[in-house]
Chain A
């Protein structure tokens, strides 16, 4: 406290005013503690709960070991990883050239793109499935393959990826870069690959991490189309043995936490950290 005041007093302007403001009202602390509790208590409970209900002589990590031993755990986890990576790949191939092209040549289309990017909020997953089912049931070869999930998740990831790319492209002097590349003789695909992509690296990595978070956590579509993704597996296991479901929850918590932490470190607390992918 003494240190804080001395720092404040070294500032020339109105130090009395500053010191008065440095005292934190007690209700501010109450709200901060309350929010911290809301965040932390469920996580603590998950850890605690997943280590209980174990019989004497068994490892305290019994439920984790049981889950890891289940071949369905591995297969569903890999299926989800695979779907996530496919979603990222399709999203990037579809979105990066499109957003780049709109910024460069069709700026008039940007309001249309903005509008499309909020449509996935207007049509939440459960509603989209209702509309997609009759269409998918007609294309059986696609309907039975898990890749169909990736194709649908591209839509859910669209708002987040679009916003990341849009912000990334707005931050660079696109026209100058493209003209410089052209005057050096580069064709458009080469310009995109060698000049624009490196400049968009942060936006692409950030958008991709959010996309992975969405695809890994998605339950609605996967369960209704009857694919055993990680979240569907978690649900099935958890409704029969709550302890195992909670252990699986902790694993996905670690996963989301890792993805968001890398996103945060990447953005260094800037606007990127405000990116939120909604997967419920």
Chain B
């Protein structure tokens, strides 16, 4: 009798333990409910709406014509300019950022250089948008300080140069791309182990040979990955280009469509926004793949 009872008791205990845990887990999930509700209202549902909206007519019927509109003027030109601008500014910022990060970490460079560059990069990477646009109008606009300085030297950069052009705009984007690259690249180069350098040096390798056979092969995936990140960063930029007066950019086209100034077809805004999401998702996947590859050698 006693045995049976204890047996039943233990059975009850065994049965109740997981149930209790799952119930407490359910209660625990309640704790994150406000957060997920908030994210749903302000991020997930709007994103879902626009993805669905891209496939709907104004009346709500299914259509592919919104997406087809992407391939009609002026949008292909806007995409072309956006992609070129993002790529150019990513390569410029990426290459120079890599070289600067490497220089900052050189043993012979004075101690204060590194904190100076890191803190200044943190500041510059955040100095974007409208103020950055005006800063470059003051620098390289038609009346800009550097423009007039070069004029005194007998060098007229206008009209061949323009802040709305591909190179001019990429130069402006450098102000946030370069510091971002420096900040993200410093830890990567630090990951190159000192032993590798020393072994290479002991075997008689010059600095060039070290980079050619050890440094670059190890760093390349990170370098490319970060450039892809910079690409996505530039691709979603809007305020800076708007301030500079750039006209044919995807983000600016979207803004014009929802501003209601020219109510051509609000459905097009959905389609363009969806196209942007697709491009950014691709960049993030490429970035993640390159990062995984990079982690093979770097700590």
Contact = CB atoms under 8 A, between A and B. Distances in A.
Interface of A: 4, 17-18, 21-25, 27-29, 31-32, 34-35, 38-39, 41-46, 48-50, 94-95, 97-98, 101-102, 105-106, 109, 116, 118-135, 151-152, 154-155, 158, 213, 217-220, 224, 231, 234-235, 238, 242, 245-246, 248-249, 252-253, 256-257, 259-261, 263-264, 269, 273-280
B31 A32 contact: no
Contact of A249 (B34, B138, B182, B198): B138
B284 interface: yes
Contact of B144 (A29, A45, A128): A45
Contact of A45 (B135, B183, B236, B255): B135
Nearest to A218: B129
B94 to A, nearest CB: 13
Given A45-B138, A246-B138, A35 B117 contact: yes
A142 B254 CA distance: 23
Interface stretch (B97-105, B219-227, B291-299): B97-105
Ranked nearest first, the 4 interchain pairs of A and B with the lowest CB-CB distance are A131-B46, A124-B236, A49-B138, A280-B128
A54 to B, nearest CB: 14
Contact of A278 (B35, B125, B281): B125
Interface in B138-156: 138-139, 141, 143-146
What is the predominant secondary structure among interface residues of chain A facing chain B?
helix
A5 B70 CA distance: 63
B238 A125 contact: yes
Interface in B212-259: 232-233, 236-240, 242-243, 251, 254-255, 258-259
Given A28-B102, A101-B28, A260-B122, A127 B131 contact: no
A124 B280 contact: yes
A234 B130 contact: yes
A257 B103 CA distance: 24
Contacts of B183: 273-274, 276
B207 interface: yes
- Most chain-B Cβ atoms within 10 A of its Cβ — which of A121, A217, A279? A279
Contacts of A29: 103
B126 A260 contact: yes
9 contacts: A22-B107, A24-B103, A38-B175, A95-B35, A231-B239, A234-B134, A246-B137, A249-B131, A252-B131
A109 B269 CA distance: 34
Interface stretch (B7-15, B37-45, B73-81): B37-45
B290 interface: no
Nearest to B33: A98
Contact of B129 (A158, A217, A257): A217
B215 to A, nearest CB: 14
A23 B207 CA distance: 12
Contacts of B115: 269
Interface size on B, as a range, is: 35 or more
B134 A280 contact: no
Interface of B: 25, 28-29, 31-32, 34-35, 38-39, 42-50, 53, 96, 99-100, 102-104, 106-109, 113, 115, 117-120, 122-132, 134-139, 141, 143-146, 174-176, 178-180, 182-184, 187, 198, 201, 207, 232-233, 236-240, 242-243, 251, 254-255, 258-259, 269-270, 273, 276-277, 280-281, 284
- Most chain-B Cβ atoms within 10 A of its Cβ — which of A28, A50, A124, A128? A124
A44 to B, nearest CB: 7
A219 B236 CA distance: 13
B258 to A, nearest CB: 6
Contacts of B118: 264, 269, 273-274
Contact of A220 (B198, B233, B239): B239
B258 A121 contact: no
A246 to B, nearest CB: 5
A45 B145 contact: yes
A117 to B, nearest CB: 10
Contacts of A24: 103, 106, 108-109
Nearest to B129: A280
A278 B238 contact: no
B99 A31 contact: yes
A38 B102 contact: no
B107 A43 contact: no
B38 A260 contact: no
Given A28-B103, A134-B49, A49 B144 contact: yes
A17 B201 contact: yes
Contacts of B175: 38-39, 42
B40 to A, nearest CB: 10
Given A134-B49, A231-B130, A273-B118, A280 B240 contact: yes
B107 A38 contact: no
Contacts of B128: 217, 278-280
Given A101-B28, A135-B45, A152-B42, A50 B108 contact: no
A246 B243 CA distance: 12
Contact of A98 (B35, B44, B174, B236): B35
Nearest to B138: A49
Nearest to A260: B123
